[in-house]
Amino acid sequence: MRGRPKLFTSYEADAAILPTSLQRWMVGGFVALLFLMPFDIPFLTGPVPRAFPDSWPILGGRFTILGSIPILQDGIPFVRFLGDSSWLRPMTEVFILAIAALGLNLLAGFAGQVSLGHAFFMGAGACTAAVMGGELGGTRWGWGLPIWIWLPASGIVAAAIGIAVGPAAVRLRGLYLAILTLGLVFIGIHLSRVFPQIAGDTEAGRRFPEFDIKLWREETPLINISSEDTVTGFFGLNTFEVSTEQKTYLFALVMVVIMTFLAKNIGRSRTGRAFQAIRDRDIAAEVMGVNEVKYKLIAFGISSFFAGIAGAMAASFLGTIAGNQWSLALSVEFIAILLIGGAGTTSGVLMGTFFVIILPELVEQVTEWLAERESGITGAIADLLLTDGGGNDFGPISEPSVAPGWALNVFDWNVVIFGVLIVVFLIFEPLGLFGIWIRVRNYWKGWPFSY
Amino acid sequence: MTAVEERAITPSTGGGATTVASLAKDWAIRSPKHIAFREKSFGIWQEFSWADAWELIELSAHALLSLGVEVGDRVTIHSEDRPEWIIVDLATVAVRATTVGLYPTNPAAEVEYTLIDSGSVIHIAEDQEQVDKVFDCDPEKTSNVRSIVYLEPRGFANFDDERLIFWEKFLDLGREHREKNPGAVTERMASAQPDDVMTLVYTSGTTGPPKGAMLTNQNSLYAIEKVVSEVAAYPDGKAPNTKDQILTYLPLCHVAERIFSTWTMLAGGPTLNFAESIETVADNLREVQPTLFFAVPRIWERLHAGVMIRGADSSWFKARWLGVGLKAADFIGKAKVANGGNHTVASRVLHAIFYPILFRALQERVGLRHCRRASSGAAPIAPEVLQFFMGIGIEVYELYGMTENSAVATVNYPGRLKLGTVGEPYEDIGLRLDEETGEIQTKHPGVFAGYWGKPEKTAETFTDDGWLKTGDVGEWVDGTHVKIVDRMKDIIITSGGKNISPSEIENTLKASPFIKEAMVIGDGRKYLTALIAIELDVAGAWALRRNISYTTYRDLTEKPEIIELVQKSVDETNEKFARVEGIKKFAMIPKELDHEDGELTATQKLKRSAMLELFSDLVESMY
């Protein structure tokens, strides 16, 4: 019913992902913005002009308010990534890791099974992709199959492995389960050494198949992601280049939209409710008729499927990955994503992934940008914060070129920031970024009351 | 919402008189897919289309026939508001029998009285609790009840009374009967007469036992024509239509809810949304956001108190924001009151500023953002409450009527609203004030056919020239609007010989969110005193915020801080009235007033004489 968001006349409406038209518009708009992001939008890149273009009616030639702020005259680091390829790669990374994080969220956030073996399942997916889609011949196995076979297959193989190790995992809970899944990671790294035919060289890895979408072993792919094409815009108004990075970004975006929808739907289905029942109290869930073994296996299977897909995509995206990269550190990164984003919430996990991947990039980029400043206010800030090895320089951040001294470099700072953030989130907002969002939303929802 | 497909049809009366049942059948033919009712069960508003509804009505009508219901027989319904109430009501009218509604709160003794007095043949009881009340009755005296239909099966496993029929079985009876006699209901409907008694409405009886007022088909159609369909009474000039939403929550046995729910639905096709219970009205309001809303003063007071309480509880910034907004609302309200309910330039500007930042959210929270006409009736309401709602952009039109004249008397028209009055008489109705006593008297086709089985009482209610005596004393304001002074028998004459109307003082007292009930006493006394009952939720929350701990209701009423709080309200009230009308002393009622204990009527009105007797020691202590 229009204008009555709380009047649910069916369970479908009650469980809708986006119940109100405002939400549909906002999410739709946001996704559209993400699709537009890799393309150059002229007025949002580079420094903010000090005056409006002369050709504009009325405003032409007048000073802009933003343009008179000194820091913005140098260019805006935050919006420059529209069309800037240096931001496209991290964003693509966000999308790919988000898929894996969504999988872990179903297992750990929904079903409450803490797993440190997520990297192992990603590795399993990557290896499947390498074997099925990799180059033929040589010392490496490779069947050269097209993407629409190897991408789903990598998910399915990972899921099969997940279900295979499931029975062992189902008998354990909490800390013991974490230790068991931790073991998987080391088994995985060991296997990658034993089978160089699959995983490639221990240090250098092997080449992974590309994203090109071919119908069947065609020479000319349907969508050729690895080449740079010229695309003719609508109605011949505009022609522009679409680079490999832009196409990879778009492909990853499409995938993340599909997988988010899938994860969200699993979460609100009977299966998802069974997961939550097991998480909240497994014995109570069994009393209510939830088959614990079955649903734990399903949780492992689905979570591994997501991890497999993400692993294949990550490997393909990076080109080469050594077997020992699927390590504990990666698994822990996913736990961090869940904690910071908000375990058990789909949108929280997306926010968490964005935050965890982009924050270090941002810190790095801002530091680099500051290091180039010589004068003015930004120069003064740079002097205050950065240590470039010169005499009277006491900034806490040292530039990468400077030898290790008392100041930490950018990478060390990133680690510190993360450590602090996780502690802060665990203490003050266990629901993560999603919890903050909920608080903000509830503040306005209750307006003008507090409840 | 999809547009409702309406077909042109010929009325389904089949040659008989138009009744509420034939109107229902019209809707089932005209737009079978349109939603007639919504009922919340298991968290979801389940929908009944008009085709579904008519099917159930027809089955129930056949079932009544198979149980041997004859023309003029009485069918009693004892249930909370739910679709079955209206289904049985309309089915009863379809077979030319008479519906008698009982208040869900009626105790066994009153159920017995009604069953005997009305001579009911079929009794519809909601659940085991209500059926138990029938079993508590004297079986000899209530032997006229042949069948008891129950709607909720829970708790009936050990009952083996042969009069009991479960609702589904009842419908099966109807199905069987329909197969054998397919045209029986249509035939009955075709023989309907305008003066068939369609319902007995038992008056709440503040004095003496309740009397069943007989309303005929013609009465109901007249009420629909005047109260429901008069376009001038709607601010946007549109009569109720299929896009409208109504929240049904007041007892359907009361004539007001019958008019504003059932009859409005039948007249224009709005969808009825049944509230889960009277306690959840505030939540259901927010969900349904009705477009047409009628409430009794008690509900308006509660909504008003809800805003005040939650406002006081909100965080610093929000409370400040609300404070400024409510000052603006106060200004707007006053400006509109002074201007017949219309905006002045200043109030319009203020409203435009505060609507997006506050009033819109406030209306949404109250549940009346989509409301296009709100009205209040059935008891006098404090003007302060109406002014508040007017200030935040919800005009509440007070209207006046009583069971005996099918609630057709006066209404406040948009743009000509006068606060403190009950409005102007409907066009072309007979309404006059008795020259001597000032009593309001009416004469029009809505006036009832008399009290059931009480010809001498009926005769008392009419003047010699055939006008209905309402028992309310009124006076003309500016020659157009009627102001109700009080119930004739409630007017206080002090020992000093001064005539005082207590209800005005009581309503001003009740405008305070802390005061639930107030009763002014002083008949034959030297000065006025009052018995005051506090609102437990509000006063309790207030006490908790100030770390005043209490155990029971009685304990709370004896806290000096609470007494001080009430004293403040009393002082404020006294300032607004003349000296002789000031309340010298007051006493706190030590218990929550209740229907079952005989302090309130089923419609939650004070039984004054009973109160005086019950709390005589309190009253005497004040003199």
Following DSSP, what letter does each residue of A55-87 receive, concatenated? TSTTTTTPBPTGGGSHHHHT--TTTTTTT-HHH
Per-residue confidence (pLDDT) for residue A234, from 0 to 100: 47
Per-residue confidence (pLDDT) for residue B250, from 0 to 100: 92
* A41 within domain boundaries: no
* A319 within domain boundaries: yes
* A40 within domain boundaries: no
| Domain end marker among A326, A342, A365 | A326
Q: Output the average pLDDT for chain B.
A: 92
pLDDT tens per residue, range B351-366: 999 999 999 999 999 9
> Between residues B1 and A31, which one has the greater pLDDT?
A31
Q: Give CA angle at A420 (A419, A424), nearest 5°.
A: 120
Per-residue confidence (pLDDT) for residue B584, from 0 to 100: 92
CA A181 → CA A97, A163, A293, B598, distances in Å? 19, 13, 17, 70
Q: Which of these ranges, A87-91, A289-293, B215-219, has the smallest mean pLDDT?
A: A87-91
Q: Which residues have CB under 8 Å from A28's CB, separation 6+?
A: none
* A406/A318 same-domain check: no
β-sheet bridge partners, residue B150: B125, B166
* A340/A319 same-domain check: no
Q: Are B504 and B486 in contact (CB under 8 A)?
A: yes
β-sheet bridge partners, residue A223: A213
* A3 within domain boundaries: no
Compare CB distances from B321 to A4, A9, A448 and report the shortest one's residue.
A448
Q: Are A415 and A409 in contact (CB under 8 A)?
A: no
* A145/A270 same-domain check: yes
> Between residues A128 and A402, which one has the greater pLDDT?
A128
* A297/A359 same-domain check: no
Compare CB distances from B45 to A3, A9, A450 and report the shortest one's residue.
A9
Paired tokens of B23: 């109107």
Q: Output the average pLDDT for chain A.
A: 82
> Between residues A137 and A358, which one has the greater pLDDT?
A358
Residue labelled with tokens 């897919």: B33
* A235 within domain boundaries: yes
Q: How confident is the model at residue B247 (pLDDT cuts 50, 70, 90)?
A: very high
- Chain B residue numbers with beta carbons less than 8 Å from the beta carbon of A1 are 1, 245
* A336/A433 same-domain check: yes
Q: Which of A95, A101, A125 is nearest to A245 (CA)?
A: A95
Does the predicted TM-score (pTM) go above 0.90? Answer: no
Question: Is B36 a residue whose pLDDT tops 80?
Answer: yes
pLDDT tens per residue, range B375-414: 999 888 989 999 999 999 999 999 999 999 999 999 999 9
Mutate which: B318, B355, B372, vs A, most A CBs within 10 A: B318
Taking the mean position of all CA atoms in its chain, how far away is CA B408? 14
Q: Which among A221-235, A382-396, B77-91 has the top mean pLDDT?
A: B77-91
* A148/A186 same-domain check: yes
Question: Is B331 a residue whose pLDDT tops 50?
Answer: yes
* A411/A314 same-domain check: no
* A172/A299 same-domain check: yes
Distance from B513 to chain A by nearest Cα, in Å?
17
pLDDT tens per residue, range A353-399: 999 998 888 888 777 777 777 777 777 777 777 776 665 566 777 76
Number of neighbouring beta carbons within 10 Å of residue B499: 12
Per-residue confidence (pLDDT) for residue B537, from 0 to 100: 85
Per-residue confidence (pLDDT) for residue A244, from 0 to 100: 80
Mean pLDDT of A167-190: 90
Report how many domains make up chain A.
2
Question: Is A223 a residue whose pLDDT tops 80?
Answer: no
Dihedral pair phi/psi, residue B447, rounded to 5° = -70, 135
Per-residue confidence (pLDDT) for residue A71, from 0 to 100: 62
Mean pLDDT of B216-243: 94
Residue labelled with tokens 């508040």: B388
Nearest-CA residue of chain A relative to B288?
A: A7
Q: What is the ipTM of this complex?
A: 0.79
pLDDT tens per residue, range B49-67: 999 999 999 999 999 999 9
Structural element, H or E, at residue B530: strand B528-534
* A428/A441 same-domain check: yes
* A214 within domain boundaries: yes
- Chain A residue numbers with beta carbons less than 8 Å from the beta carbon of B361 are 447-448
Q: Which residues of A touch chain B, with CB atoms under 8 Å apart?
A: 1-4, 6-11, 14, 446-451
Compare CB distances from A6 to B47, B286, B310 and report the shortest one's residue.
B286
Question: Is B186 a residue whose pLDDT tops 70?
Answer: yes
Per-residue confidence (pLDDT) for residue A392, from 0 to 100: 54
Q: Which of A123, A321, A118, A291 is nearest to A207 (CA)?
A: A321
* A372 within domain boundaries: yes
Q: Are A101 and A337 in contact (CB under 8 A)?
A: yes
Per-residue confidence (pLDDT) for residue A390, from 0 to 100: 61
Counted across chains A and B, CB pairs separated by less than 8 A come out at 60
Per-residue confidence (pLDDT) for residue A311, from 0 to 100: 95
Instruction: List the domain range (segments joined by +) for residue A224.
Output: 78-326
Look at A1 and B362 and tell me if their CB atoms are within 8 Å.
no
Per-residue confidence (pLDDT) for residue B1, from 0 to 100: 45
Compare CB distances from A450 to B45, B245, B313 and report the shortest one's residue.
B313
Q: How confident is the model at residue A72 (pLDDT cuts 50, 70, 90)?
A: low
* A334/A232 same-domain check: no
Look at A448 and B322 and tell me if their CB atoms are within 8 Å.
yes
Look at B313 and A10 and tell me if their CB atoms are within 8 Å.
no
| Domain end marker among A326, A357, A383 | A326
Residues 367-426 of B with CB under 8 A from A: 369-370
Mean pLDDT of B164-189: 95
CA A213 → CA A226, A421, B76, B258, distances in Å? 10, 40, 73, 67
Mean pLDDT of A396-417: 72
* A250 within domain boundaries: yes
Residues 42-71 of B with CB under 8 A from A: 43-47
* A264/A296 same-domain check: yes
| Domain end marker among A309, A326, A343 | A326
Per-residue confidence (pLDDT) for residue A236, from 0 to 100: 45
> Between residues B623 and A63, which one has the greater pLDDT?
B623
Q: Which of these ranges, A178-182, B165-169, B258-262, B500-504, has the smallest mean pLDDT?
A: B500-504
Q: Is A226 exposed, middle or buried (0-12, 13-18, 19+ CB in 10 A)?
A: exposed
Nearest-CA residue of chain B relative to A12?
A: B44
Domains of chain B with bracketed CATH:
20-193+236-274 (3.40.50.12780), 491-621 (3.30.300.30)
Look at B314 and A1 and tell me if their CB atoms are within 8 Å.
no
Taking the mean position of all CA atoms in its chain, how far away is CA B592? 21
Percentage of residues in chain B having pLDDT higher than 90? 73
How is residue B423 annotated by DSSP? B
Dihedral pair phi/psi, residue A96, rounded to 5° = -65, -45
pLDDT tens per residue, range A302-360: 999 999 999 999 998 988 788 888 999 999 999 999 989 998 999 999 999 999 998 88
Q: How confident is the model at residue A21 (pLDDT cuts 50, 70, 90)?
A: confident
CA A124 → CA A196, A290, A317, A327, distances in Å? 14, 30, 16, 12
CA B97 → CA B66, B446, B455, distances in Å? 13, 19, 21
* A227/A107 same-domain check: yes
